[in-house]
Chains A and B, each alone.
Chain A
Amino acid sequence: MKKNLTYIIALAAIILLGFLIQTKSYIFYSEPVLRVEEVEANASEQTQKIKGKLLNQKGSVTLETTYYENESVSPLYRKGNQLILQKSDNYWRVLSMKRDGYVFILIGLFILIVLFISGKRGIRALIGLAINSGLLLFFLWLSQQNSRLSLMLLMVVFTFIAVFVAMGTSYGFKKLDGRKIFGTLVSVFAAFLICLIAMNLLKDEGLRYEEMQFITRPYRSVFLAGLLIGAIGASMDNVVTIISALDEIRAQNEQLPLKKLVRSGREIAQDTASSMINVLLFAYLSGAIPSVVFYLANGWNFSEVIGMHLSLEILRTLCGGFAIVLSVPAALFAFSLAEKLGRRQER
């Protein structure tokens, strides 16, 4: 009961603190922050007229910004919203809505929920998540600083380290299992290579890079790097499940021949593999929903739009699918190899 009370207090604290940041953090901003006091939306002229008071400077501001009834570009602002502004040539422009407090609540809730459900194991998972996110940023920073280092090469190195970190934080660095790491790396790189070779041989036919957003570097290399990283998690999950289950069976029956073990491994993987592919399918595809609907509403042809917006996401799913399916032979191979090597050492 005491534990639950702590969590309830923490929950209340996160939400309170979040709203406090949302309303009061304007003192940290160098750009002017406006509190909206009156909004006049004019749908036919596609503008909204905003009146408000500046919070971290003196004075009040009236400005006009775009507004479409469907809120495609900017939402309809309401009284009490805070906006970050920029002044250029005596003309006020909305840079963005202020969202910092809500981001705090979102992250806080996520951490709290993981801790509530899984306690110490949850802390480990979160630490792994934080280290790997930090590492990714570090490697991307390296590639930004040294244009001679290829992004792809750096992401390959990141893959190796990220697998170590994820395994170490989830299952303990002392108990790092060479078979699981080996199996994961083999299946991730095999999946990636299959996709890369197919893309090269077929000269990217059917892939539509032009709808990739946020491009500051050669788009193909950015996409390939993402393709590799996206496959890591799913394959690691599968490899760990299979090898742990085989260990369990082996512990109960030491005489069981390897062939039968391999069959059990395959059966275990069957249950997890297809639902894992579905996890990736929906996690990747769903982001495209509004763009697809928007293009269709603009009168574009259905199959054209689907090809344009989903081709890269489908390729990501396929690469993940390869990683998941290949993790079965990779895990079985790693398991039996270790067993054979172990026997040889015993002799």
Chain B
Amino acid sequence: MSVLICLTLILMGLMLLIFQKSAIYMITGTFANFVLFILLLYLFSKGLPVYPLTFLIFLGVTVVTLFYINDFNQKTKAAFLCVLFFLVAFTLVTLPLIQLVKVHGFAIEELDELQMMDFSVSVPFNALNLSIILMSFSGAVIDSSIAVSSSTYEIYRRTEKLTFKELVASSMTVVHEILSSTINTLLFAFMGSSLALIIWIQDLNYSFLEIINSKAFVGELLISLLTGMAAVIILPITSLVSSYIFYHQYFK
């Protein structure tokens, strides 16, 4: 039996054991997200336009994670709005930087293994680079957003007669709590996945100037830092927007 199937079964068993009924939503929801990702790859290979497709799948992932795995309520509706607004704003702001660094396509270090391939096939590498970044932070942004929105909701419900400003202030304390743990989660994940590249750079004695100009390293750094920024910037946005929504009781 394949290692992946075996471990997936064990993980599902453990989730059922620990979380009981709600594990079913987690498992099916995560699986649905995975299927959405595979669908994205499949449709890319059919030549569908990259930007609209990425946005569409991103929305699909958001809907599944917020409304299916969590629930359809005020908290998730507020989070959904924030994620949507953020996605558009962040893309517009960072697109120029992504265009400037030009890290799309393969790095020189990767070319040896690909000698058998035809490099002239029609694959929009430049656009795909944005797709990597958006999909990479999709999970983190949704996670940050729902965390802040539900804490803000709890604060609003439990403490009566808060003014709008006070509500935002207490919600911001939650933001500070979440911020460092989010940064750590992403840091270790990216450390783990780029370990091979770091060892490569060390073993081949790259100089400092070589490192900070190389496509391979700058590409990894761009994805990691933009994902980190996205997961951090969504926090105060959600804090403000969800406070506003709950305070004025828009979704009641």
A→B interface (CB under 8 Å): 28-29, 46, 66, 68-75, 84, 95-100, 102-103, 105-107, 109-110, 113-114, 117-119, 121-122, 124-126, 128-129, 132-133, 136-137, 140-141, 144, 162, 166, 169-170, 194-195, 198-199, 202, 204-207, 212-217, 219, 222-223, 225-234, 236-237, 240-241, 266, 269-287, 289-290, 292-298, 302, 306, 311, 313-316, 318, 320-322, 325-326, 328-329
- How would you classify the secondary structure of chain B's contact residues: helix, strand, loop or mixed? helix
The reply to whether the CB of B95 lies closer than 8 angstroms to some CB of chain A is: no
Whether B235 lies near A110 (C-beta < 8 A) is no
CA distance A334 to B113 in the complex (A): 48
Given the interface pairs A225-B195, A302-B42, A321-B11, the reply to whether A106 lies near B1 with Cβ below 8 Å is no
Whether A329 lies near B18 (C-beta < 8 A) is yes
Q: Which of A110, A217, A293 contacts B44 (CB 8 A)?
A: A293
- Give the total number of A-B pairs whose CB atoms are below 8 A apart: 370
CA distance A164 to B215 in the complex (A): 33
Among A170, A199, A228, A278, the most chain B Cβ lie within 10 Å of the Cβ of A278
CA distance A235 to B102 in the complex (A): 35
CA distance A172 to B22 in the complex (A): 35
- Which residue of chain B has its CB nearest to the CB of A311? B4
Contacts of A322 in B (CB 8 A): 7, 11, 14
Whether B181 lies near A297 (C-beta < 8 A) is no
Per-residue CB contact flags for chain B residues 37-61 toward chain A (1 = under 8 Å, else 0) read: 1101110110000000000000001
CB distance from B181 to the nearest CB of A (A): 4
Whether A72 lies near B119 (C-beta < 8 A) is yes
Contacts of A70 in B (CB 8 A): 105, 119-125
Contacts of A237 in B (CB 8 A): 181-182, 184-185
CB distance from A32 to the nearest CB of B (A): 13
Given the interface pairs A96-B214, A274-B30, the reply to whether A284 lies near B199 with Cβ below 8 Å is no
Whether B214 lies near A293 (C-beta < 8 A) is no
Whether B183 lies near A272 (C-beta < 8 A) is no
CB distance from A160 to the nearest CB of B (A): 14
CA distance A181 to B198 in the complex (A): 27
Given the interface pairs A69-B120, A293-B44, A318-B4, the reply to whether A117 lies near B175 with Cβ below 8 Å is yes
Contacts of B193 in A (CB 8 A): 226, 230, 283-284, 287, 313, 316
The reply to whether the CB of B160 lies closer than 8 angstroms to some CB of chain A is: no
CA distance A264 to B212 in the complex (A): 48
Q: Which of A107, A223, A234 contacts B189 (CB 8 A)?
A: A234
Whether B129 lies near A290 (C-beta < 8 A) is yes
CA distance A289 to B100 in the complex (A): 21
- Which residue of chain A has its CB nearest to the CB of B54? A289
CA distance A285 to B57 in the complex (A): 14
The reply to whether the CB of B233 lies closer than 8 angstroms to some CB of chain A is: yes
Contacts of A105 in B (CB 8 A): 97
Whether B104 lies near A75 (C-beta < 8 A) is yes
CB distance from A264 to the nearest CB of B (A): 14
Given the interface pairs A132-B187, A222-B199, A298-B117, the reply to whether A106 lies near B150 with Cβ below 8 Å is no
Whether A272 lies near B147 (C-beta < 8 A) is yes
Whether A140 lies near B198 (C-beta < 8 A) is yes
Whether A283 lies near B33 (C-beta < 8 A) is no
Whether A226 lies near B41 (C-beta < 8 A) is no
Contacts of A277 in B (CB 8 A): 26, 30
CB distance from A14 to the nearest CB of B (A): 12
The 3 closest A-B pairs by CB, nearest first: A230-B192, A206-B2, A233-B188
CA distance A119 to B25 in the complex (A): 37
